[in-house]
Amino acid sequence: MRIADYSVTRAILERHGFTFKKSFGQNFLTDTNILQKIVDTAEVDKNVNVIEIGPGIGALTEFLAEKAAEVMAFEIDDRLIPILADTLRDFDNVQVVNQDILKADLQTQIKQFKNPDLPIKVVANLPYYITTPILMHLIESKIPFAEFVVMMQKEVADRIAAEPNTKAYGSLSIAVQYYMAAEVAFIVPRTVFVPAPNVDSAILKMVRRDQPLVEVQNEDFLFDVAKASFVHRRKTLWNNLTNRFGKSENVKEKLRQALEMAGLRPSVRGEALSIADFGRLADALKEQGF
């Protein structure tokens, strides 16, 4: 029997008198086939350390602990800590850290792995209310995670993996794909969770690139320009850039020059630009003194 078997999950919750906290995004997986698929997708083995975010009662942690060298699981809810000590008592390669992942000093934490030199993968069924902040926190930590295999709302997974010229494509696609190759691995119906969330989910697999997708003078500025270009999705790049940088004749002249240098028409929409286009645009704007 597995922690995630519906009857086992129910018994654990009952034994500990646990009630779900909606504000923590608590939807627990009760489908062992899906858990097996997640671990297979992440290709976890004894040469990999895993960081899990939000272990809940340990449904995914159990599968990860069997395969990985070590698992470090960050759980915000104090009430789950004694439950995890119970459900995961047979494993000596799991550390549960009772912390908000967004406040965790990950650089310091990962030194706690017994073998800190192994590649680290992030495997998690994320709390959906903070999917994007968590991903940005992980990326901005500058830790060279080898891979993320994470469950999230299908709609957010689609936005991250989106290609140019699609409705889902936007600054989030660019912020992630700049560092990682992203693809939706499979879809998960809402019915396999207790309680069932209001939306369907997807497993997104993100693999770190050897180098960022494009070389730019200033990464933060690239993301700033990308974000500004999608503020009004239906407006042109020119419109969005003048909104961001200003509308004086002097600024407009510099914007014109930058667009020409980057080989972009002012009438194009942000959603038509590839990440390489945004890279050229950001560098051209920098050369014009922005």
Binding residue for ligand SAM (CB under 6 A) from 63, 74, 278, 290?
74
The answer to whether 160 and 173 have CB atoms below 8 angstroms apart is: yes
**Binding window for ligand SAM (CB under 6 A); candidates: 96-104, 168-176, 182-190, 261-269:** 96-104
Nearer CB in complex with ligand SAM: 128/221: 128
Residue among 69 and 130 whose Cβ is closer to ligand SAM: 130
**Does 100 sit near ligand SAM (CB under 6 A)?**
yes
Phi, psi of 49, deg, nearest 5: -95, 145
Q: Which residue has the closest beta carbon to ligand SAM?
A: 54
| Backbone CA torsion sign across 148, 152, 157, 159 | negative
Of 29 and 42, nearer to ligand SAM (C-beta) is 29
Span 153-212, contacts to ligand SAM by CB under 6 A: none
Minimum distance from CB of 167 to ligand SAM (Å)? 26
Q: How far is the CB of 38 from ligand SAM (least distance, A)?
A: 9
Of these, 12, 76, 203, 255, which contacts ligand SAM (CB under 6 A)?
76
Give the binding range for ligand SAM (CB under 6 A) out of 23-31, 175-183, 231-239, 279-287. Answer: 23-31
CB of 76 to ligand SAM, least distance (A): 4
Residues that bind ligand SAM (CB under 6 A): 24-29, 53-56, 59-60, 74-77, 80, 100-102, 125, 127, 130
